[in-house]
Structure 1
Amino acid sequence: MTAQVTRTLMRTVFIDTMIDAVATDSRVALVTADISSWSFDDLRAEYPERVINVGIREQAMIGIAGGLALTGHRPVAHTYTPFLIERPFEQIKICLNHQDVGAVLVSIGGSYDDLPRGRTHQAPGDVALLDTLPGWTVHVPGHEDEVEPLLRKALAGDDRVYLRLSDKVHSEPVPLSGEFTVLRQGGAGVVVAVGPVLDDVLAATAALDVTVLYASTIRPFDRAGLRRAAGAARANVVLVEPYLRGTSAPEVAEALADVPHRLLALGTRRDQEVRAYGKAADHDRLHGIDAESLAGSISEFLG
Structure 2
Amino acid sequence: MAVTMLGGFWPRATAEAAWALLATDPGRRLISCASLGDALAAPDNAVVVLPEDCEPDDVRTAWAPQANAPSVTTVVPADLVLDGLTSESAIGDLVAHQIEQADTVLLTGRREGDDEWETEQIRVLLHRLAPWASHTVPALHGRAEPLAPVTRGLRGHAVGVHEPVPDHGVVSCVFHARRPFHPGRLHDALDDVTDNVLRSRGHFWLASRPDLAMTWESAGELSLGPVSGWLDALPLDQWPGVDTERLLAAEIDWDPYYGDRHHHLAFIGIDLDPVHIHRVLSRCLLTDYELADGEQAWRRLPDPFR
Higher relative contact order (CA 8 A, sep 6+): 2
Normalising by structure 1, report the TM-score.
0.39
Q: Which has the higher helix share?
A: 1
Normalising by structure 2, report the TM-score.
0.39
Larger radius of gyration: 2
